[in-house]
Structure 1
Amino acid sequence: MSEELFEIIRLISLLIVGLPFIVALFKFKILNKTQIVLFYLLLIIILVEIISLFFWYKKINNLPIYHLYTIIEFAIISKIYAEELKSIFSKNFFLVLVLMFAVFSVLNTLFFQNIFTFNSNAITVSGLIVIFFALSYFYALLKEVKYRTLESNPMFWINSGFLIYFSSNLILFYMNNTLFKGVTEASLILWGLHAIVNIVLTIFYTIALWVNPKKQNT
């Protein structure tokens, strides 16, 4: 993959996040709880990307931002699943998990991957846990059908997006610091694929915010 193509894909990946955010703004009054939490996640993503780009243009290392963002992202995703998986796991389970992950992330930053290094250990652990959440949600969905159609279930799209995104990027996140030093053809290909998967995730976010959930009559 050429650097020019990579930059185009990366730019699309950055700009497209505005699409679900705009949809959420227009439909904010009728969003359900899960959609509202997703909206706040998008708000933080946009804020992080703006700060990250500012640092990049100023030639300042922007990796410290992602050490903090990883914890916040995991907490918000856990909040989504705490509501959707309450029939399987207690809220205390998610609270303890978030606290344990936050402690692990801080220890990783202090002793293993300093704040100016890509925090692949924390992101890998986060990805594995989210994949577990996603599979648990599909299991719960098979046990109890809450919606007439999956197409009108926002969480179905969110969960599918998470599963595709974190599964696809798990190896990349883990191997980034060890295999790729600087800009190489291999790193451009892998980070280009990451940007493409991020675009797919954002499309799923957009659908999740666009649909109107219809619960079954009881």
Structure 2
Amino acid sequence: MDFRIPYFIILSIGSIVGIYRINSLTKSSKLFLLLLVTTFVIELASYFMGKILKNNLIIYNIYMPIYLNVFLYGIVADIKREKILWMGLFFLILWGLTYLYTGSIYKFNTLALQMSLIIQIIVSLVALFDLLKSDTLEPLIDFPLFWICSGFLIFSSANLIALGAYNYINRSEILVSIFQKLRIYSNYLLYILFLVSFMVKQNSIKK
């Protein structure tokens, strides 16, 4: 079965549930709903572009800084660490410089993706730390931020390891298969946890 079929199903269910519950979502959850719906549209566009033009990397490359910045705004909407937003500007500059270096936006930008994953890991850890030290009697599972950051932490770590060890992994067909499946299933998990975050109590960190 094409891995995109369950992927599109997960994105569509998450979008429907999030839109249905939009009035009860926190500002942070609404931003992650925007990220989910936008990702769904981008994935559909890239799928059809790949069928027609055989190269859909330009869509992913352009969407990369947009995706990261919406992620950062979604986190900051809850933990109120505005300085985190500077990471988005830093990434945008780095993203632009990498294309000046490669000379083409139609090529896979490994360096920019790795930096994006590193930022997602760092910010997710910071947000989870703030959640753990917050003065609340509510369980962690009742915070949308817990599910979102857990998903990004798992997804970004798995893909960063795969990209960082690509030359070594590429020597073995078994390892290539393992990490391909890891990338696919971590992607599924990330957006399943988006869905969970829309369904739980919409508690937010109080500052």
TM-score, normalised with respect to structure 1: 0.84
For residues 122-141 of structure 1, the aligned pairs below 5 Å read: 122-141=112-131
Provide, for residues 50-102 of structure 1, a one-character-per-residue CA deviation record: whole Å limited to 9, x for no partner: 1101111113310011111110011011101222332xx3x2x2332211110
The answer to whether the aligner puts 1:56 opposite 2:45 as a matched pair is no
* Cα separation, partners in 2 of 1:147 and 1:200, compared to 1, 3 Å: farther
Structure 2 partner of 1:39: 33
- Quote the offset at 1:13 in angstroms: 2.2
* Cα separation, partners in 2 of 1:32 and 1:216, compared to 1, 3 Å: closer
Where structure 1 has 5 or more consecutive residues not aligned to the other structure, the ranges are 1-6
* Contact 1:157-1:207 at 8 Å conserved across structures: yes
- Quote the offset at 1:20 in angstroms: 0.9
The answer to whether the aligner puts 1:167 opposite 2:157 as a matched pair is yes
Code of the aligned partner of 1:105:
W
Secondary structure at 1:145's aligned position in 2?
A: coil
Code of the aligned partner of 2:151:
G
Identity of aligned residues (%): 27
* Cα separation, partners in 2 of 1:172 and 1:207, compared to 1, 3 Å: same
Question: How many positions carry a matched residue from both structures?
Answer: 205
Structure 1 partner of 2:195: 206
* Contact 2:144-2:203 at 8 Å conserved across structures: no
Range with bigger deviation, 61-70 or 138-147: 138-147
* Contact 2:49-2:55 at 8 Å conserved across structures: yes
Structure 1 partner of 2:86: 96
Give the structure, 1 or 2, with the largest relative contact order (CA under 8 Å, sep 6 or more). 1
Cα RMSD between the aligned structures? 2.5
User: Equivalent of 1:74, from 68, 87, 92?
Assistant: 68
* Contact 1:35-1:209 at 8 Å conserved across structures: yes
* Contact 1:157-1:205 at 8 Å conserved across structures: yes
Deviant stretches of 4+, over 3 Å = 7-10, 173-181, 184-189, 214-217
Cα distance between partner residues in 2 of 1:179 and 1:14: 28
* Contact 1:105-1:122 at 8 Å conserved across structures: yes
TM-score, normalised with respect to structure 2: 0.88
Cα distance between partner residues in 1 of 2:125 and 2:103: 29
- Quote the offset at 1:113 in angstroms: 6.8
Secondary structure at 1:16's aligned position in 2?
A: helix
